[in-house]
């Protein structure tokens, strides 16, 4: 069950074998994308994005690495989408740019969200609507769908059948027995599959290290009611733009307290408009108003519902906290962050909380009130699933390594043999045949960064340079040399940005640069690149010894 750190390329796929590998989503929470291969055809389940951390400055989104299948896109029979969260659908437009007629399969709300996103990219998709209980033949794959409960309506688990065996992918799942929409996880369906025989079980790992059971969504209502009851001014709620259930709870609570609502933020307005049009959101007549209309109401009659619960720099709540939005907050205002913290976003979220608190607002979040419950099954629920499915092999998915290992431990506790529990990273290739799943190799995968209109042009080296610039600053050195006279005839001019406030701080190193250059010229060194490297070394050594800093140093030596 141990992960394989160094694996060879996988062998050619033998007839009758199903191959499975993830291009994202293992060892991380985001970029979910799993490829299934059988009889020359590829089936993709989910195609999502990962949001950047502080260590990835300037990056907007991180995509799965399509490299291993780029030359086989004509073999893709469909992309099956388990639900409409960004970490499961956000990368679809980028894959469809490479082949725009790949069929998309999903539930009504999921397809509505992705079609809206694709319109922004000017892509017309081929879609197939499915609901729980449906079955489709997609090339050699017989695919079925089960209802699962999650923090968004219409989530589905996926069953994939081939002559090689039966695979069950939970998608994102929890076992809320009193969901707001009454749509419970189809445990009967899971049990029937268990009786039939599941050869490989791909299981959501996000909360595998959390004991017990996830509380019901309904337990949030009394807490929200208390928050609204105490609020003397405006209430501003930040949530995921796709969390329809949470938004419904906010609307219901606002109606109870005689407040009107306005949606703020492009994705929030778009998604809630779609959810309302499709009947997934119920808004009382006359309760939804525009932001301008809301601003004309007394503060104790208004609720703003916006994006930014994860501290995203350009989202509404972050801009409010930075005083960079038309909406301003102060004493008497109540801010509710109705979401959990995605790992890696902690610093950004706490910066927003601190900024709002400094402005005088009362900030309510999961750390000080139960204003959010997770959409992912905890350990008790996962044990229940293992016991009713009784899989022959298990592959924990959707989680960081601590989550994957915790999930593997749960599977082992239910009696699944340790050698049938596979811990895999992105790119690790698993073959399934005759009820046995085994790791057979790996394909190279990495991170694909989206930076504005650029996709894949940013490298790890570029990010290292950006981190150095942000942390240590920038020094430029300019000098003009006369090769024949072996002299520095102009400069060296040294400029710094983000390094030191004193413009004279670098004066002591100027003579050292001149001496190094003229000494090299006297030794017959005439290559400009060599002279630049010598300049970089002398400045870097001096800065490190004097200031204990390692800024980016860009030397320019010009020959006359």
Q: What is the pLDDT of residues 323-365, one digit of tens each?
A: 878 888 889 889 998 877 666 667 778 888 888 888 888 888 8
pLDDT given for residue 453 in this prediction: 59
End-to-end CA distance of the chain: 65
pTM: 0.81
In angstroms, the CA 127 to CA 137 distance is 14
Q: CATH says 217-364 is which class?
A: alpha beta
pLDDT given for residue 2 in this prediction: 39
pLDDT given for residue 515 in this prediction: 82
- Is pLDDT above 90 for 148? yes
Q: Sign (positive/negative) of CA torsion 59, 62, 68, 69? A: negative
| β-strand pairing of 454-455 with 76-80 | unpaired
| β-strand pairing of 334-337 with 362-364 | parallel
In angstroms, the CA 49 to CA 531 distance is 44
Q: Which residues of the chain are in CATH 3.10.20.580 domains?
A: 473-559
pLDDT given for residue 58 in this prediction: 60
pLDDT given for residue 22 in this prediction: 96
Residue bearing the bigger pLDDT, 154 or 456: 154
Report pLDDT digits (tens) over 435-492: 999 999 999 998 887 766 556 556 666 656 555 555 667 778 888 877 777 787 787 8
- Is pLDDT above 70 for 248? yes
Q: Which residues of the chain are in CATH 3.40.50.10710 domains?
A: 217-364
What are residue 288's DSSP bridge partners?
261
Q: CATH says 473-559 is which class?
A: alpha beta
**CATH no., domain 18-212+374-455:** 3.60.15.10
In angstroms, the CA 66 to CA 11 distance is 20
Report pLDDT digits (tens) over 389-404: 999 999 999 999 999 9
In angstroms, the CA 333 to CA 415 distance is 53
The residue-averaged pLDDT of 513-527 equals 81
pLDDT given for residue 189 in this prediction: 97
pLDDT given for residue 484 in this prediction: 77
Cα→Cα distances 65→35, 114, 441, Å = 12, 20, 17
The residue-averaged pLDDT of 17-32 equals 94
pLDDT given for residue 413 in this prediction: 97
What is the spatial order of strands in the sheet that 362-364 belongs to? 260-264, 302-306, 235-238, 334-337, 362-364
Instruction: Give the DSSP H or E segment for 477.
Output: strand 474-482
Structure tokens at 243: 């969390």
Cβ partners under 8 Å of residue 380, min gap 6: 211, 212, 213
Q: Which residues of the chain are in CATH 3.60.15.10 domains?
A: 18-212+374-455
Structure tokens at 393: 């092999």
Whether the link from the prior residue into 323 is cis, omega within 30° of 0, is no
- Is pLDDT above 90 for 147? yes
Burial of 452: CB neighbours in 10 Å, binned 0-12, 13-18, 19+: exposed
Three-state SS string over 75-87 comes to HEEEEECCCCCHH
In angstroms, the CA 409 to CA 386 distance is 12
| β-strand pairing of 454-455 with 474-482 | unpaired
In angstroms, the CA 325 to CA 360 distance is 16
- Is pLDDT above 90 for 10? yes
Q: Answer whether 161's CB lies under 8 Å from 142's CB.
A: yes
């Amino acid at each position: 069950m141990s992960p394989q750190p160094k694996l060879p390329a996988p062998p050619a796929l033998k007839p009758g074998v199903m191959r499975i590998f993830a291009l994202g989503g293992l060892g991380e929470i985001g970029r979910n994308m799993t490829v299934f291969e059988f009889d020359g055809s590829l089936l993709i389940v989910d195609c999502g994005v990962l949001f950047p951390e502080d260590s990835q400055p300037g990056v907007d989104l991180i995509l799965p690495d399509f490299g291993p299948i780029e030359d086989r896109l004509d073999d893709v029979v469909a992309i099956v989408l388990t639900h409409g969260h960004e970490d499961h659908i956000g990368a679809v437009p980028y894959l469809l740019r490479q082949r725009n007629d790949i069929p998309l399969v999903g539930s009504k709300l999921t397809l509505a969200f992705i079609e809206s996103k694709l319109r922004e990219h000017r892509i017309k998709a081929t879609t197939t609507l499915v609901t729980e209980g449906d079955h489709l033949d997609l090339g050699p794959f017989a695919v079925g769908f089960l209802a699962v409960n999650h923090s968004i309506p219409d989530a589905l688990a996926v069953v994939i059948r081939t002559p090689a065996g039966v695979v069950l992918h939970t998608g994102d799942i929890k076992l809320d027995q009193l969901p707001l929409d009454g749509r419970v996880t189809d445990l009967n369906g899971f049990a029937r599959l268990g009786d039939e025989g599941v050869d490989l079980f791909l299981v959501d790992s996000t909360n595998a290290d959390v004991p017990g059971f996830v509380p019901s969504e309904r337990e949030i209502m009394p807490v929200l009611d208390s928050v609204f009851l105490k609020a003397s001014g405006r209430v501003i709620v930040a949530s995921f733009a796709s969390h329809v259930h949470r938004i419904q709870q906010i609307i219901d609570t606002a109606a109870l307290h005689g407040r009107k609502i306005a949606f703020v933020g492009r994705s929030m307005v778009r998604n809630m408009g779609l959810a309302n049009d499709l009947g997934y959101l119920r808004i009382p007549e006359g309760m939804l108003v525009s932001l301008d209309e809301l601003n004309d109401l007394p503060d104790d009659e208004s609720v703003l519902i916006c994006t930014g619960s994860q501290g995203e720099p350009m989202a509404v709540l972050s801009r409010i906290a930075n005083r960079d939005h038309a909406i301003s907050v102060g004493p008497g205002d109540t801010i509710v962050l109705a979401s959990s913290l995605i790992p890696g976003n902690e610093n950004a979220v706490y910066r927003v909380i601190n900024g709002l608190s400094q402005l005088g607002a009362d900030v309510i979040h999961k750390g000080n009130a139960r204003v959010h419950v997770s959409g992912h099954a905890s350990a008790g629920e996962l044990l229940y699933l293992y016991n009713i499915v009784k899989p022959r092999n298990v592959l924990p998915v959707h989680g960081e390594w601590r989550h994957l290992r915790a999930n593997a431990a749960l599977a082992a506790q239910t009696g699944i043999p340790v050698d049938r529990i596979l811990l895999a990273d992105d790119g690790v290739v698993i073959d399934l045949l005759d009820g046995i799943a085994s790791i057979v190799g790996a394909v190279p995968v990495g991170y694909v960064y989206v930076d504005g209109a650029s996709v894949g042009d940013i490298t790890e080296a570029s990010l290292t340079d950006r981190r150095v610039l942000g942390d240590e600053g920038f020094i430029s050195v300019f000098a003009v040399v006369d090769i024949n006279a072996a002299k520095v005839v102009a400069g060296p001019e040294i400029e710094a940005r983000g390094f030191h406030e004193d413009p004279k701080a670098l004066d002591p190193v100027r003579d050292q640069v001149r001496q190094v250059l003229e000494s090299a010229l006297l030794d017959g060194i005439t290559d400009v690149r060599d002279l630049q490297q010598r300049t970089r070394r002398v400045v870097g050594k001096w800065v490190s010894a004097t200031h204990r800093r390692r800024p980016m140093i860009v030397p320019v030596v010009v020959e006359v």
